[in-house]
Structure 1
């Protein structure tokens, strides 16, 4: 998945497609490709690396085609390579398509198509669609084949296709992955992100899930998945290219905070369902190669840096409580220097958004040298950690542009929670418990959307406290790591001093700092440690301290104690970190903006730390 561009009009398509891909480079990608249709032939070009490499490949080719599709790829199935790059084609080289999204049942579809003598060239889930439509198009029109084929598909897709047998036409369909139709003067554009086409037209139609658009040289028609016509309003945008990249948000950080419901859905899709039923094996797909070794594990050591370290701390709580496996979390930068005691019954889990964090990679190599099972939780397919660990699970959060990590953190929590369920089921967790947690986990995206509606309310609180030079973040149990993550966020993007502490440790030192100029942010949902948190809040108030509290909806007691209260939805205790981290991300964002800072590019920080 990553970026899609399509063009049908009277101008040369290649320069428009290349420029569109360049405008999508900010999203991150590992390869690029395009397909151009002219005079009954399709010209295909692919390149690993930058769009500039693809541009060099087609330079001097005298490409006059006025119809084409293009794609930048962020690997989710298969390593970055030419054969895994889009566009993908069918056996006969008639159908070419670009796809964003994940096809959950691609394995079973691929087996079915192989039995029908289809030959696959890539490792991707996307290629399955080209062969599926080819098979069905033997008996019907191409559009009918697409409609019939999608009935067999489970997953998400933003899909743009051309067919050599139907010249002068592009078909595109959306389900769970953004797709936009741009309307120009005698020309049409398709894109996954408006930034790819805004320089050519500001008239757009946002396709909704289950809608399919058919473009011809003169017109377009939008229908639903049942092939019934749909009337759509053309929107006129007043956006700059820069703002369009941010999806209308002022900063990438805010855009990525608001992407988290979708990111969580992506992380759960095709995975959480196994815990709702009594499957023979709950092992997640990426861990199947080490299934036997995993069953023998008696200890887990998580190694990570920064935000990933704090997600690992949450993982420590849930893995010990629900999987019953002793778990510890280590700073990767310290791990290798203290001669850790490791053996073949220890699993060393490396958490890294980029998969290239130098200290974490060094820790993986140390663990492998000592015979431990090494597992990865990374976002970037084909990254060094993904390659060098024995197995792992991808977070599927997509590119993260803002330096301060937000959606990467919640996507890591998704994987760690799924691992706790998986290992718990392997070690005797009841199906009743598994189902209860899995059902509640599926509601998390909806609950996060509710929290995001509090952004303006949180903005007012952040502005009210913009004078503060220090903050104390406090939480217990699952929410102690969230206190640490919250304090890290405000340090990163606001340059104010903040400390995260277990609330029970406050009286062992930090309380000496409390006065009316040192506000505390207290994470106190209705959970098993609620009463103890109330006691801690009372101690702060007795010393004149200001309190911003995170509390469960309906909690009247905290309202009487705290100066400000941000209410979060009720959920299972182990899932409260999803509820509590979002308000802290928003608070840090609005606090930084209120101080006039560039929250996307905080000073002295890099997105990926590739030196020790």
Structure 2
């Protein structure tokens, strides 16, 4: 999804070249979210114009006009395509205008953006920042969708505004100019504050958004606000090296002290600058002026917003996590990091033969008395919940139902006060999942969050939850977060079922398996070369089917999804029990079919499936437990992938890894971008 990055230095001398590079590098850190164009806005001169006039103009037609403020117009650069295209075009334009890149600014506010096209094709005019018009009186970068933009646009056109883009975003800066001009009509000395302008603008907006405003009417100031979409504030001041877990809110209000401040859609873009950050809440308006950060809480029912104080949090992330290291791609790195991510997911949560989940302990009794547990998620997170469902039902005795978030909302499916609704999201910002969360809260259910992102909307809105702790995941296709989600939900099942003596032996055997799981995953990763050879044999295939059942129905869905996402190859995960109800018609000697047949209660049924596929000359690849090759494919009649056997409820963690590797190698061999698949974004924050 779109990425926002902004940088403000106060009483810290920074050259224009440095400022540009900070902005460009911030955008590079956001590339993984998916985008098709980008842009930046910086100041053209560090000092106000003398006499309130200037020769600096936006185009030749305006050569005799003056900007309506006492400084040169901000410079805006926009480009479709990759960020490096933007970087090249900026330096070309800078050379053409003979702009001094070594010029120093003691105070400067710059904004930047990566856009994922929703309204209008990828093109410079549709890229952000979007402008209020001539002289760039108001500039805005935006993540989200404004649902009432057409009505606003019609109103602004009637007031003489001319629109140049196809975006929904353009109404925002133009609305800001309309509000500003209206406030100054008839009284040239009247001055409306920047925050007053922005608050009046957001009062008119409907939809989801994260916004940054920049204006030469308010030089060296930035305003950020959000509703739905993620936005973070990072803080660097003279005490930046003296980190403590939390920082007094008054430190944000200190002015005149040297500091550097960052806004970002993602912690990955600020971790190399600071570990102190603030997750901006919905309807908060964050105003940076004179080195001071003030926060106002907007309320539709009140004319004036209330001032609030927030404390900074400490970022538990290292710079190394956002770098590829010795790997060729982030997806490859993250697949191979899974022994470590599983270890950190379980660290401190397994003690001897028990499970300790601090985020759930006060709500376990309520969960145990639920009429049902409802797992709610999208995509990979839904598949992870599906993998955990059988074990939770077994240990708790509570009925477990599955809901795709968007479908739950479309149907307005029943959610009751006696339900426990478990929301699963890697980013914690998935739009459909958050809307489903609001729906469940309105209906009185106990809401549990399972997410990889501390401070995310999901983490803040749910009653309780568990942090996955898989580490930063850069690749768009989720890998290590998926396996850690399964482990977290397995531990959740163990904690819920802790009061049932009849399950004690079963629980202890699973806990033993969890302790060993990271090392077993390390063994599976040694199949990398074998899976690469398999990928070479499938490179020209047009489609791929994956059959699974029981615990591994989710594995079939997730494996096919990975191939679909990154290798751009048609693939379908199917419930093997449904094979004779339609899918069998597709079987011939050319269509590759992967059958997951590791040892569990469904093993004999999967053997039968394999026999039927062989009888129809199916092109089979069978994943089986070590030592079972001759049982599943007698006489070497099909290709076999042997994996270590673990407890049945943990087997999906093992079985997905060869399919993740297959998707990765297929993508590389087919020449596609592994980390930024076509048309996809890391965090789907718009509907």
TM-score tier (shorter): 0.5 to 0.7
CA distance in 1 between counterparts of 2:450 and 2:631 reads 39
CA spacing shift, 1:43–1:540, aligned 2, 3 Å:
closer
CA distance in 2 between counterparts of 1:59 and 1:317 reads 50
Q: Does 1:581 align with 2:659?
A: no
Q: Judge conservation of contact 2:237–2:258 (CA < 8 Å) in 1.
A: no
Q: Judge conservation of contact 1:256–1:406 (CA < 8 Å) in 2.
A: yes
CA spacing shift, 1:46–1:514, aligned 2, 3 Å:
same
Q: Judge conservation of contact 2:562–2:660 (CA < 8 Å) in 1.
A: yes
CA spacing shift, 1:375–1:457, aligned 2, 3 Å:
same
In structure 2, the residue matched to 1:265 is: 343
Corresponding residue SS for 1:577: helix
In structure 1, the residue matched to 2:324 is: 246
CA distance in 2 between counterparts of 1:37 and 1:357 reads 35
In structure 2, the residue matched to 1:347 is: 420
Corresponding residue SS for 2:359: helix
**Residues 243-273 of structure 1, C-alpha deviation per residue, up to 9 Å, x if partnerless?**
xx31111111111101111111111111122
In structure 2, the residue matched to 1:460 is: 533
CA spacing shift, 1:471–1:508, aligned 2, 3 Å:
same
Q: Judge conservation of contact 2:545–2:572 (CA < 8 Å) in 1.
A: yes
Map 1:142-541 → 2, pairs under 5 A? 192=320, 245-273=323-351, 276-277=353-354, 284-541=357-614
CA spacing shift, 1:592–1:341, aligned 2, 3 Å:
same
CA distance in 2 between counterparts of 1:43 and 1:123 reads 10
For residue 490 of structure 1, report the CA deviation from its aligned partner.
0.7
CA distance in 1 between counterparts of 2:596 and 2:459 reads 34
Corresponding residue SS for 2:460: helix
In structure 2, the residue matched to 1:600 is: 675
For residue 37 of structure 1, report the CA deviation from its aligned partner.
9.4
Q: Does 1:558 align with 2:638?
A: no
How many pairs are equivalent?
425
CA distance in 2 between counterparts of 1:248 and 1:538 reads 43
For residue 341 of structure 1, report the CA deviation from its aligned partner.
2.4
**Residues 105-144 of structure 1, C-alpha deviation per residue, up to 9 Å, x if partnerless?**
xxxxxxxxxxxxxxxx987698xxxxxxxxxxxxxxxxxx
CA distance in 2 between counterparts of 1:125 and 1:360 reads 25
CA distance in 1 between counterparts of 2:607 and 2:274 reads 51
Q: Judge conservation of contact 2:348–2:356 (CA < 8 Å) in 1.
A: no
For residue 318 of structure 1, report the CA deviation from its aligned partner.
1.3
- Shifted more, 288-297 versus 255-264: the winner is 288-297
Corresponding residue SS for 1:337: helix
Q: Judge conservation of contact 2:597–2:606 (CA < 8 Å) in 1.
A: yes
Q: Judge conservation of contact 1:332–1:359 (CA < 8 Å) in 2.
A: yes
CA spacing shift, 1:125–1:434, aligned 2, 3 Å:
farther
- Higher Rg of the two aligned structures: 2
Question: What 5-or-longer segments of structure 1 have no aligned partner?
Answer: 1-11, 49-55, 61-68, 82-120, 127-176, 179-190, 196-244
For residue 605 of structure 1, report the CA deviation from its aligned partner.
0.7
CA spacing shift, 1:428–1:368, aligned 2, 3 Å:
farther
Q: Judge conservation of contact 1:283–1:422 (CA < 8 Å) in 2.
A: yes
**Residues 420-457 of structure 1, C-alpha deviation per residue, up to 9 Å, x if partnerless?**
10111134454433221111111111011111111111
CA distance in 1 between counterparts of 2:495 and 2:439 reads 26
CA distance in 2 between counterparts of 1:338 and 1:387 reads 26
CA distance in 1 between counterparts of 2:429 and 2:675 reads 21
For residue 551 of structure 1, report the CA deviation from its aligned partner.
0.9
CA distance in 2 between counterparts of 1:270 and 1:567 reads 32
Q: Judge conservation of contact 2:451–2:467 (CA < 8 Å) in 1.
A: yes
For residue 403 of structure 1, report the CA deviation from its aligned partner.
0.9
In structure 1, the residue matched to 2:300 is: none
Corresponding residue SS for 2:650: helix
Q: Judge conservation of contact 1:33–1:46 (CA < 8 Å) in 2.
A: no
CA spacing shift, 1:269–1:18, aligned 2, 3 Å:
farther
**Residues 452-482 of structure 1, C-alpha deviation per residue, up to 9 Å, x if partnerless?**
1111110011101111101110011000111
CA distance in 2 between counterparts of 1:24 and 1:604 reads 18
CA spacing shift, 1:562–1:410, aligned 2, 3 Å:
farther
CA spacing shift, 1:332–1:74, aligned 2, 3 Å:
farther
Q: Judge conservation of contact 1:470–1:518 (CA < 8 Å) in 2.
A: yes
For residue 289 of structure 1, report the CA deviation from its aligned partner.
3.9
CA distance in 2 between counterparts of 1:80 and 1:287 reads 25
For residue 34 of structure 1, report the CA deviation from its aligned partner.
5.8
CA spacing shift, 1:559–1:33, aligned 2, 3 Å:
farther
CA spacing shift, 1:270–1:21, aligned 2, 3 Å:
farther
Corresponding residue SS for 1:328: strand
Corresponding residue SS for 2:401: strand
Question: What 5-or-longer segments of structure 2 have no aligned partner?
Answer: 1-13, 34-230, 250-256, 262-270, 282-310
For residue 388 of structure 1, report the CA deviation from its aligned partner.
1.0
For residue 542 of structure 1, report the CA deviation from its aligned partner.
1.1
For residue 307 of structure 1, report the CA deviation from its aligned partner.
0.6
TM-score scaled by structure 1? Answer: 0.63
CA distance in 2 between counterparts of 1:466 and 1:517 reads 13
In structure 2, the residue matched to 1:569 is: 644
**Residues 273-321 of structure 1, C-alpha deviation per residue, up to 9 Å, x if partnerless?**
2x614xxxx5610113434422322210111001111111112111112
Corresponding residue SS for 2:363: helix
